[in-house]
Structure formats: C-alpha cells, structure tokens
Amino acid sequence: MSQLIKISIILVSVFLFGGFIGFIVSDTSISDLISNGNSIESSPQNLKQIDIDEYVDISNSEDINKKRQELINFIWKSNSLPSELPIVETNFIDSRFSDLTNLQKIEKITLQMEHGFISNSYLFVPNDGNEKLIIYHQGHSGGFINGKQTIQDFLNAGFSVAAFSMPLFEPNNQPTENIENIGPIKFLKHNQFVLLESENFSSLELFLSPISSTLNYLEKHYGYSEFYMVGISGGGWTSSVYPALDTRISKSFSVAGSLPLSLRNVIDDVGDYEQFHPELYSIANYFELYVLSSTGKDREFYQIFNKNDPCCFAGEIYKIYHEPLKKFISKFDSGNFDIILDDTHTEHKISENITEFIIQNLLNS
C-alpha cells in the first residue's frame, strides 16, 4: 500500500473519528446521563454519576500491567520504555532565567528524534534542594518561559525542576519533513502529526520520549528520591498520560489538561490531535489512563480544573465521574485519585493557591 493511500486512510479515519468520537472509545454513552442536554454548563445537580465498571476494563494489577504494556508497545513499537540518553549541556545560560533565586545552575537537555524533531528542556537545580524533582510541562500557550513563576515557586520550596514545552513550541524546533507523494511539510501544528503515522512510528513519541530520556539521565547522574509531574493545559494532558506509562512518576498534577472524550461537549474542549488520537484511546480510554496514573505504591494522580477557565475544561461536569472513579481506584491495594476545583480566578493557569497546594502535598509526602 502506497504512503499516499495510507495517509488518506488515516485522514479519513480522523475525520470520521471527529464526527463519531463517542463510538470509538468505551466511554460512549455518558452523554446520555446528562439530563439537561449536552451542554457543559448543565447544573451539577443534574449530572448523574456514572458506573465506572462499564467503562474501565481493569480489575486487578495484572490488568494494569497488561494495559500499560499495550500502550508502550503501540507508542514506541517496543516492549519497554526508551533507554536513550539525551545530550546535556551543563551550566547553560539563558538570560531570561538569570533572575531566578535559589538557583545553582541550569542544564540544557536535548533529545534528537525521528523526522528531524528536537526537544530542548531545562533542568533547574537549586542551591538548597530537597533531593526531589518536579517535571513541569507547559501547554499550547507557548514555551515553558510562560511558567517561570511556577518554576520559581518550586525552586523556592527546594525542588529541582525539569521544564518541558510541547512539540513545536519554543525552545523546541519546527522541522520540515519530506512526505512521500506530498512533498516537504513544515510542521507548525500538532494536527499535522497525522501525516507521520505509520506501522513503525507513532507521533506520540514526540510528546513522551523527551520525558523518558530525561528521567534516564537523571537516574544515572542524580540521586533524586522522588519524581513528580505538574502540567498546565497541553502539559496537563501530558501529565495525565505519561505517568500512566512510567511508574517512576509517583505523584502527578494535571491542571486544565483533559476530560473523557464523551464529556467534551463544547468546541474548545476538543483539543489537538494528541487529545483524540484514535489508536491510543482504543487501547486505553481516559478513565483507564487515569487509573494507570493513580495506582501503585505511593502513587497519586490529581486533576485540577479551573471553574471559570476561558480556554477549556471549565465548569463542573467532572462531577459525573469524580466520586465513582475515586471509589473504583480505592479498591486497589495502593494509589489515590482526586479532583480539585479552583474557583479563585478566571484565567487559564496554575493559580497561586494550586501551586501552594501542590508544594504542600509533595513536602508532606
């Protein structure tokens, strides 16, 4: 089958997926439980809680391990997480961060990936540290320079910080790749990644491999006792998915990052390609990813929603699954899931209140 035909099939599949998104994953009929129509603005009192057992095909730790393995096999076409080590530039200088306090040094961590994609992340090492590291992941609003204050807050609390931007966002590159029968394509948006999908490559690598590679480096060269993860928006999506794959992340906090697909009833919640990637969510729907990110010894996963978020995932529709999923996860030997609603502002951000909650949660663990 020619590359053009393969691409055409994928594009048609994605189009159909957009129109029939509820029928591809196993959380399809939830919208039927919303008694006041399909609007995310429905009153929370009108939202009936779902039966999680209908949507989660996981009963025990063996099921968790099996589903995690299936995800790894699909994303990396391998039986294990990537073992690659990145290129590291120590004592790196970026004048935009020169005024950070309690900062000993910055290391620039670079991973070169297929199709010319390059990930650049920064490791911020504090002078007075607590031997714990937070992976901070920015979203679609720009590079992690936009999270400078959050990074500073984490440094002040003694955490090292590994800061990431999403693919295509500064300081990452925007490569041009020659696509068979199409020609050179400059990649500017995540939705273009459908053009790269093949039997041998998943574009999800571009989002997730940089984190795995950085953790490999940190394990080899630093003695951190814990790895945590915090993300906003698209970075919140990454902070939902990556901990489901890698149990080295013990606690993760996703701010305005995702909703189960069948609860995305306004256009702003649909998201980019990675948010509704057909093959990914046919292996594990969002409920199941939340289970994988929450369960395990000393593991916790928190979803945080901004009630009045002008971007996405606003409101209180999460109440349809919050308590049922929390109760479902409590049946396992270890692990915890919870959702927090932030109604203290009207922005798409990690608020000071949530930053303080995260810091106190991690310092007390």
Question: Which residues make Cβ contacts (< 8 Å) with residue 324, sequence separation at least 6?
Answer: 49, 50, 51, 52
Range 305-310 average pLDDT = 98
Q: Of 186, 187, 197, 123, nearest to 159 (Cα)?
A: 123
**Residue 36 is encoded by which pair of tokens?**
């006041």
| Amino acid code (one letter) for 316 | E
Domain of 8, CATH number, reads: 3.40.50.1820
- β-sheet bridge partners, residue 179: 183
Mean pLDDT of 112-124: 98
The stretch 308-328 carries a mean pLDDT of 97
Cα 46 from Cα 38, distance rounded (Å): 11
Q: Give the confidence band of 365 by pLDDT, cuts at 50, 70, 90.
A: confident
Structure confidence at residue 23 (pLDDT): 33
Residue 46 confidence (pLDDT): 60
CA distance 308 to 254: 16
CB atoms within 10 A of CB 46: 11
Residue 1 has pLDDT above 80, yes or no: no
The stretch 348-353 carries a mean pLDDT of: 98
Give the confidence band of 236 by pLDDT, cuts at 50, 70, 90. Answer: very high
Looking at residue 40, its pLDDT comes to: 32
- SS3 labels along the chain: CCHHHHHHHHHHHHHHHHHCHHHCCCCHHHHHHECCCCCCCCCHHHECCCCHHHCCCCCCHHHHHHHHHHHHHHHHCCCCCCCCCCEEECCCCCHHHCCCCCCCEEEEEEEECHHHCEEEEEEEECCCCCCEEEEEECCCCCCHHHHHHHHHHHHHCCCEEEEECCCCCCCCCCCEEEECCCEEEECCCHHHHHHHCECCECCCHHHHHHHHHHHHHHHHHCCCCEEEEEEECHHHHHHHHHHHHCCCEEEEEEECCCCCHHHCCCHHHCCCHHHHCHHHHHHCCHHHHHHHHHECCCCEEEEEEECCCCCCCCCCHHHHCHHHHHHHHHCCCCEEEEEEEECCCCCCCCCHHHHHHHHHHHHCC
| Residue 4 confidence (pLDDT) above 80 | no
Whole-number percent of the chain with pLDDT over 90: 86
**Closest by alpha carbon to 217, among 88, 80, 75?**
88
Taking residue 184's Cβ as centre, other Cβ atoms within 10 Å add up to: 8
Give the tens place of pLDDT for each residue, 142-178.
999 999 999 999 999 999 999 999 999 999 999 999 9
Q: Which domain holds residue 327?
A: 3-363
The pLDDT of residue 38 is 31
Residues of the chain with pLDDT > 70, as a percent, come to 87
Can you tell me the mean pLDDT for 44-51? 74
Ramachandran quadrant class, 186 (left: phi over 0; alpha: psi -120 to 50; beta: rest): beta
Bigger pLDDT: 249 vs 31: 249
Ranking 33-42, 98-107, 340-349 by mean pLDDT, the lowest is 33-42
* Residue, of 10 and 80, whose pLDDT is higher: 80
Pairing of strands 132-137, 226-232: parallel
pLDDT, averaged across the chain: 90
Residue 36, pLDDT score: 32
Q: What angle do CA 67, 72, 74 make, to 5 degrees?
A: 95
Lowest mean pLDDT among 47-61, 112-126, 314-328: 47-61
> How many domains does the structure of the chain reveal?
1
**Each residue of 19-32: pLDDT tens digit?**
433 333 334 344 34
Average pLDDT over every residue of 178-199: 97
Instruction: Using alpha carbons, list the distances in angstroms from residue 34 to 128, 195, 261.
Output: 50, 36, 14
Range scoring the smallest mean pLDDT among 16-20, 121-125, 126-130 = 16-20
Residue 3 has pLDDT above 60, yes or no: no
- CA 351, CA 356: separation in Å to the nearest integer? 9
Sign of CA dihedral 24, 26, 32, 38: negative
